[in-house]
Amino acid sequence: MRTSNIRRSMKLKKSPPTSLDTLFIKTYGCQMNEYDSSRMLDLMQEAYGMRLVASPEDADVILMNTCSIREKAEDKVYSELGRYRKLKEKRPSMIIGVGGCVGQQEGKRIQQRAPYVDAVFGPQTYHKLPEMIHKIRRDRVQVTDTDMPEIEKFDHLPAPKGNGLSGFVTIMEGCDKFCTFCVVPYTRGSELSRPVEDVLEECGKLLATGTTEISLLGQNVNAYRGLSKDGDEWDFTMLLYAVAKLDGLKRLRFSTSHPMEMTEEMAAAFGDIPVLMPYLHLPVQSGSNAILKAMHRGHNRDDYFPLIESLRKYCPDIALSSDFIVGYPGETEEDFEATLDLVRRVNYDFSYCFKYSPRPGTPAAQSEDNVPEAIKNERLQRLLELTRLQTRQAMVKQIGRAVEVLVEKESKKEGEMQGRTADYRIVHFKGQVRQIGQIMPVRITEAYGQSLHGVLILA
């Protein structure tokens, strides 16, 4: 292990040695960050026997796993850190670490602005956390490790503990698409697929802990090109079929797919693999060819519709969702209307709509952010109005249906449980805590904007 890339900065004042019993992790951002946070917990449990606590007040070690995808990401980190600073003033032995995509981008600047932060690391260096913490305690130094020479973390992570319900497995890291607005290629590095057997083994270990639902993760899972042990290169669809065969797996999902690399075989898999759940997030960002080109998305609107058709051909009940950005530099009213038109034509089950915000270091940030804020807001409202209506209509269609719900947790409402349908809709119903982790038949009785209500179907 190379220690040279753990940089020594200022010596800290003497404080009592930290006990390492309790850990608090605050996670922002995408599912890949959620995966990383669960692996940080696995690591700290294995290295120090730490246990997770629900509040930072009770923690010996606080880790923030940050996201820098949209505006004010850094501000959010610093304001949260301000809270932790007060805790650390009361208990100077506490260790504070900042990881994730803001950690990667800001590096040492974080400790310059917030000198009470002990460790800064990125999405590709958190496997060295036990070593970093050891060094912080022994030498009373701050460490920064945002190196990204090659992705090695997967070789250093312990077996996943799982939560007996559903789990994430990152199958590939990074992104090589370099969409002009996006920080991910800079914060997570280049695309790297994990070897086939590594993925299968990790899925197998999760299933052995009682997990029944697995989501395969990557910024572009359909760019997956993993080596098998006999040296063949597998694409994503091959991997899907292999994971689907693992014992104990009841539900398989994946995220995110890029339209440019979506294949007919992938669409066919939705009709062909019983455990592959009928829901796909296929972000298109804009319906305007000019904007898609400016964004470097690598396809135009007319390439997108056949993908949707083919998905619906193989799997008529598939639920579809997308991300949209409004107010990209140069976006005209006509461009925006092309987005509305695409949304109408596709008719999404769920949509995630964002105002464009320039991100430091991205190509788009060099263009003037020239769509006025008032127009961005207005377009966002118009898009939300349309997409919310579509979501609501899709929800209303569920009324009367018998669906299978994987029960996830207790609802906020007493006596009710919450879970998800195969097509990823949230359902609340009167149930029992012991049903958590089970797949229960539920008849849908009511539909709300974002969720459904139902009653258990008794055998």
Footprint on this chain of ligand F3S (rule: CB under 6 A) = 29-30, 32-33, 67-69, 100-101, 183-184, 187-188
Cis preceding-peptide flag for 387 (omega within 30 of 0): no
* Closer Cβ to ligand SAH, 84 or 304, answer by number: 304
> Minimum CB separation from ligand F3S for residue 109, in Å?
17
DSSP, res 119: E
Q: What would the two tokens of residue 303 be?
A: 């390439």
End-to-end CA distance of the chain: 57
Q: How many Å apart are CA 1 and CA 5, to the nearest integer?
A: 10
What is the greatest pairwise CA distance in the chain?
Answer: 66
> Minimum CB separation from ligand F3S for residue 198, in Å?
20
H or E segment at 324? Answer: strand 319-326
The strand order across the sheet containing 350-355 reads 279-281, 319-326, 350-355
Are the C-beta atoms of 298 and 269 separated by less than 8 Å? no
Q: Which range, of 181-189, 334-342, 353-361, 450-458, touches ligand SF4 by CB under 6 A?
A: 181-189
* Closer Cβ to ligand SF4, 204 or 358, answer by number: 358
- How many residues touch ligand SAH (CB under 6 A)? 17
* Closer Cβ to ligand F3S, 81 or 422, answer by number: 81
Does 170 contact ligand SF4 by CB under 6 A? no
Q: How many Å apart are CA 88 and CA 60, to the nearest integer?
A: 10
Q: Which residues partner with 22 through β-bridges?
A: 51
Pick from ligand F3S, ligand SF4, ligand SAH, none: which does 146 bind, CB < 5 to 8 A by kind? none
* x/- track of binding to ligand SAH for residues 249-268 (CB under 6 A): -------x-x----------
Q: Which range, of 133-141, 161-169, 171-179, 239-247, touches ligand SF4 by CB under 6 A?
A: 171-179
Q: What is the CA radius of gyration of the chain?
A: 23
The residue among 61, 154, 140 whose CA lies nearest residue 99 is 61
- Among 48, 126, 356, 429, the residue binding ligand SAH under the rule CB under 6 A is 356
Residues that bind ligand SAH (CB under 6 A): 69-70, 181-182, 184, 219-220, 256, 258, 283, 285, 323, 325, 354, 356-357, 359
Residues that bind ligand SF4 (CB under 6 A): 175, 177-179, 182, 184-185, 219-220, 258
